[in-house]
Homo-oligomer: A and B are copies of this chain.
Amino acid sequence: METFPQRILLGPGPSIIDPRVYRALSTPITGHMDPHFLGVMKEVRSKLRRLFRADYEVTIPVSGTGSAGMEAALVNFLEPGDDVCVLSGGFFADRMVNIARRTGANVQVIETEWGLPTDPARVSRELAGKRLKMLAAVHGETSTGVLQPLEPLAAIAQKHGALFVVDTVATLGGMVIETEKIGIDVCYSGSQKCVGCPPGLAPITVSERAMSVLRARKGPVQSWYLDLSGVEKYWGTERTYHHTAPISLIYALNEALNLIEEEGLDARSARHARNIAALGAGLSALGLEPLPAREYRMPMLATVRIPAGVDDMRVRSRLLERFNIEIAGGLGAFKGKLWRIGMMGSSSSEGNLLLLLAALEILLAEEGVGRAKGAGVSAAQSALESATEAVHA
């Protein structure tokens, strides 16, 4: 008899999927040109526009995971010789650099130490007097837990007449992102984090200004699959076949978006903020030091340094085997040095954070760095009581 583990997913995604979303996922499919499915697509586009808070016509789920969204956000608008600046302070921004370089664009990277946000004043200085077609940044960098304030960067992009491209893979659905008001031209995400759908889709929204850049290209987009000028004809009013949409995942996304609208994005954001604050209080009480400064912490991901003498893999394996809890280790330079604990979508609940803290207390004690029994849990309980909504209060 095959058995399946029931994981409590507290890593940086995927997050726990609501049963209603699983039910939608297994709806018997129609064809990808079926009038019923075309109706579902239209609904999904409307809901995504509301989630992104952007009234951009081209707002669709790309048929791939978040990284496909990243690639779509870059390759559609960059051509050889174009000037693009990527603001990097982590693993996923480095991926943007990697993809941007493959377009033949001139890629300027403004590197910031991992764990710190990019300093807009420095960006202004380094870009002064330069031509710039695109400024690209990551909103919530899941490799470090840093939340990057977007408004000052948008102002810089605007000053240069550059497209502002932002990765919200980890943040969309877990906090309010005013895509259009901020002035983001291309904003993409992933389905499997705070949106609460299984992995395999990358919601993206594209301003008219960005679409006009796409339409004015000298050469074709290097990816046929991710070429938004073809994809938009299927998702838009023309309904011209491009590629077969991942129908089941789109049913699931539609239901995940229903759940977001029923909860309300403001209430959902408050829930994420409250729970990450309580988790942060508990982790601190366990002696786990957070990486980013308080004001730059993501409201859906806590990143803490692994104490000296603690075996990263042993703790995470035991969490998984004994308690069915998944958290993640560090990426790149932070491998073995960092834990990344997500409170995303359905995973963000009081019960999950209390359970994790209780389990971590036991395992840290086994590693010889335990605190008083119940220290983490009681700190989290206090935080939940005072119900502060400040991030990582």
Contact = CB atoms under 8 A, between A and B. Distances in A.
Interface of A: 4-7, 9, 11, 13-14, 17, 22-23, 25-36, 63-68, 71, 75, 95, 98-99, 101-103, 190, 192, 198-200, 220-226, 241-249, 252, 320, 326, 328, 331
A212 to B, nearest CB: 21
A391 to B, nearest CB: 24
13 contacts: A9-B31, A13-B244, A14-B29, A14-B31, A14-B244, A25-B248, A30-B326, A63-B200, A71-B223, A199-B246, A199-B248, A223-B225, A246-B249
A17 B13 contact: no
A95 B224 contact: yes
A245 B68 CA distance: 11
A192 B31 CA distance: 10
In the A-B complex, the 3 residue pairs with the closest CB atoms: A200-B246, A67-B243, A198-B248
Contacts of A221: 102
Contacts of A224: 67, 71, 95, 98-99, 102
Contacts of A98: 224
Contact of A71 (B23, B95, B103, B225): B225
Contacts of A102: 220-224
Nearest to A192: B244
Contacts of A26: 22-23, 25-26
A64 B64 contact: yes
Nearest to A5: B36
